[in-house]
């Protein structure tokens, strides 16, 4: 894999709400992929194992960075009133969606939330949920690793056609 493909996959993996749900199909498929509101991106046609290694590591690094950066970022950006209002709505929505899983299943509940391969779940929201619920880093890290691995397996299976994907 050349450096351009590597950087491209990492940047796609860093997109909030999409993460490896986008970067795995783009990395593996060799045809153009239509994205709502964005246009079309070209698939790279790379080997699945190479793509998985890159996007899983990128997703894990993203989660760790977010976990530690959230406190600073929240304090910085919520000084602006309209951002504070958006943040408060996001907090309420995230707590409503994630708290039942974490209350009932603990760390595994957060892992399952991160693993759900749908937009709006994933590491971005999982890190925010861990921050809002006061979860310790070690528990978040365990949840993140489990969730990212499960999501990677599901998206990979769909992407290569094992679960009826279009790969």
pLDDT, one tens digit per residue, over 70-98 is: 989 888 989 999 989 988 888 888 777 77
Cα dihedral 140, 141, 146, 151 sign? positive
The answer to whether residue 167 sits within a structural domain is no
Least confident piece of the model among 7-16, 80-89, 140-149: 80-89
Kindly give the residue spans of alpha helices, DSSP state H, lying in 29-136: 48-77, 81-105, 107-115, 123-132
Query: In total, how many domains does the chain have?
Result: 1
Distance CA 58, CA 70 (A): 18
The answer to whether residue 166 sits within a structural domain is no
Q: Which of 105, 10, 97, 99 is nearest to 50 (CA)?
A: 10
The answer to whether residue 68 sits within a structural domain is yes
The answer to whether residue 99 sits within a structural domain is yes
The answer to whether residue 164 sits within a structural domain is no
Range of the domain at 18: 3-159
* pLDDT band (50, 70, 90) for residue 163: low
């Amino acid at each position: 894999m050349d450096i351009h493909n590597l950087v491209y996959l990492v940047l796609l993996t860093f997109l909030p709400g999409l993460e490896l749900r986008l970067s795995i199909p783009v990395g593996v498929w060799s045809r153009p992929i239509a994205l709502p509101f964005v246009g079309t991106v070209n698939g790279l046609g790379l080997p699945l194992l190479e793509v998985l290694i890159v996007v899983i590591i990128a997703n894990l690094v993203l989660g760790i960075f977010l976990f530690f950066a959230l406190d600073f970022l929240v304090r910085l950006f919520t000084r602006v009133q309209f951002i504070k209002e958006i943040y408060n709505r996001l907090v309420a929505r995230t707590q409503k969606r994630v708290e039942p899983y974490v209350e009932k299943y603990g760390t595994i509940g957060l892992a399952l939330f991160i693993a759900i391969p749908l937009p709006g779940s994933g590491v971005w929201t999982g890190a925010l949920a861990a921050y809002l619920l006061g979860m310790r880093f070690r528990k978040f890290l365990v949840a993140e690793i489990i969730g990212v691995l499960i999501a990677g397996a599901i998206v990979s299976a769909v992407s290569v056609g094992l679960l009826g994907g279009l790969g």
